[in-house]
Amino acid sequence: MTASLELRNVEKRYGDFVAVASLSLAVPAGVIFGLLGPNGAGKTTTLRMIMDILAPDSGEILLFGRRRRASDLQRMGYLPEERGLYRKMTVLDQLLFLAEIHGLKRRQALPVIEAWLARVDLADWGRKKVEELSKGMQQKVQLIGTVLHEPEILILDEPFSGLDPINQGLFKELLLEYRKQGRTILFSTHGMEQAEKLCDHIGLISHGRLVLSGELREIKRQASGNSYRLVAPATAGDLERVRALPEIEVAISSDVRDPQGAVEPLSASVRLLLKPGASTSELLRQLLQFLEVREFRSEEPDLEDIFIKAVRDAA
C-alpha cells in the first residue's frame, strides 16, 4: 500500500526549543491514522507543517507519493484545534466562502452544501448568521466546512475536543464512511480511548519524537502477554509498593477512590505491565505478602499502557 502522506526527518525548532525532532512517519492510503501524544508533544506543529501553515526547518513532506504541490491543499481538509467561523456571516455564505477557497465554484458548491445541511438537520438555518446558532450547530457547520470539497486526505487536530456527544457520533460516523471510500485520515488526540476505537494505525509522539508507530492490531499483539489485571483492597501506599516491585514496568490503577490512604483500604483495580521476562509466580508471591489479592489475570493491554511504556523506553 502506498503512503498517501509521508514525513521524512522533519524538524521544527522555535529558538532553542525543539518542537518536532527528526520525525519520520508514513500514513498509508485509506486508513485512519491516530497521532497520539500528551499535550506539548509536537502534534499540532506536525499537523501545521503537513498543511503548509508552518515550514519545517529541515526534512521533507511527501503527499500522494511525491513532493508537495501548492494545489495539494485543495485536495486536503483540515480542522485545526483552534477553530472558528466568521460570526457575522450567514451559514450559507460562510460555507460558500470555505468552498471557494478550496477551489470549488459556487454553482458546484451550493447543492453539496444543501445536502450537508439537510444531513445534519440544519436545512432551515442556511440564512441565519453564525452567531445566532448554538455551539453544537456551529460545530456541525465547521465540520461541513472541513469536508465539503471532498478532500482525499483529512487532517484533524484534536477533533473530538469540545464536541458534544451528538457531534462526536456524527464525526465518528463520517470518519468510518471516509475510510470506506478509501480516503486517508490523520488525526491527533491525547485521548487514548477514541484512538483505540477508531484507528487502524497509530503513531505515538513524545517531546517531538516518534516513540512508536505501526498498525494498531500488530502493536497490541506484540504487547500482549505482558499485561495483567490485579484486583485487591489497597491504599495509595500499597500501590507505591506495587510500582516499586522489580517485575513491574507500569502500574495504572483505575479506581482507587481514596488517594490519601484511608484506614479502611478500598478495592483497587490495577493494570500491570510486566517487564520482559518477568516471572508472574514470583510477582504474585511478592504481592501476596502485603495485599489480599482477589483477582489476578492476564489481559489484553490497552493503548494507554503501551503508550506509557513506549515513552518510558524512549527516555
Partner 1 sequence: MRPEHAFIVGKREYLVRLRSKGFWIATALLPVFMAAMILGPFLAASRSKAEQRLAIVDATGAGLGQRLAAALTERAPGSGRGEGGEVRFEAQLVPPGPDPAALRSKLDRRVRAKELGAWVWLTPDGLRENRFEYHAENLSNVVTQEALRSRISRVVSLWRLRAAGLDAAKIAELTRTVELSTVRISATGSRAEQGIGGFMLAFGLCFGLYMVILIYGQQVMQGVLEEKSSRVIEVIAAAIRPTELMAGKLLGICLVALTQLAIWVGAALVLTTPAILGALWTLPPGLILPHVPGAVIAHLFMLFLLGFFLYSTLYAMIGASFNSVQEAQQFAGVAVVFIVPPLLFITPILNDPDSPLAVSMSLFPFFTPLVMMLRIASKMPPAWQIVAAYSLCLLTIAGMIWLCARVYRIGILMYGKKPTLQEIWHWVRYS
Candidate segments 99-107, 110-118, 182-190, 227-235, binder of partner 1 by CB under 8 A? 99-107
Q: How far is the CB of 28 from partner 1 (least distance, A)?
A: 22
Cβ contacts of 246 within 8 Å, gap of 6 or more:
275, 278
Element (H, E) at 108: helix 106-119
Residue among 14 and 290 whose Cβ is closer to partner 1: 14
CB 279 within 8 A of CB 247: yes
Site size for partner 1 (CB under 8 A): 29
Residue among 44 and 226 whose Cβ is closer to partner 1: 44
51 binds partner 1 (CB under 8 A): yes
Dist. CA 68–CA 66, nearest whole Å: 6
Report the chain's C-alpha Rg in angstroms: 23
280 binds partner 1 (CB under 8 A): no
101 binds partner 1 (CB under 8 A): yes
Q: Quick one: which of 100, 150, 173, 218 contacts partner 1 (CB under 8 A)?
A: 100
And the C-alpha cell for 187? 488525526
102 binds partner 1 (CB under 8 A): yes
Residue among 43 and 48 whose Cβ is closer to partner 1: 48
Residue among 160 and 266 whose Cβ is closer to partner 1: 160
**Residue 187: C-alpha distances to residues 113, 193, 195, 206, 300 (Å):** 24, 13, 9, 16, 24
154 binds partner 1 (CB under 8 A): no
Binding mask 64-93 for partner 1 (x = CB under 8 A): ------x--xx-x-xxx-xxxxxxxx---x
The 10 Å Cβ neighbour count of residue 173 is 10
98 binds partner 1 (CB under 8 A): yes
Element (H, E) at 100: helix 91-101
Q: Which residue has the cell 498509508?
A: 28
Total residue count of the chain as it appears in this document: 315
13 binds partner 1 (CB under 8 A): no
Collapsed DSSP state (helix, strand, coil) of residue 176: helix
Q: How far is the CB of 5 from partner 1 (least distance, A)?
A: 14
Residues making contact with partner 1 (CB under 8 A): 48, 51, 53-54, 70, 73-74, 76, 78-80, 82-89, 93, 97-98, 100-102, 142, 145-146, 155
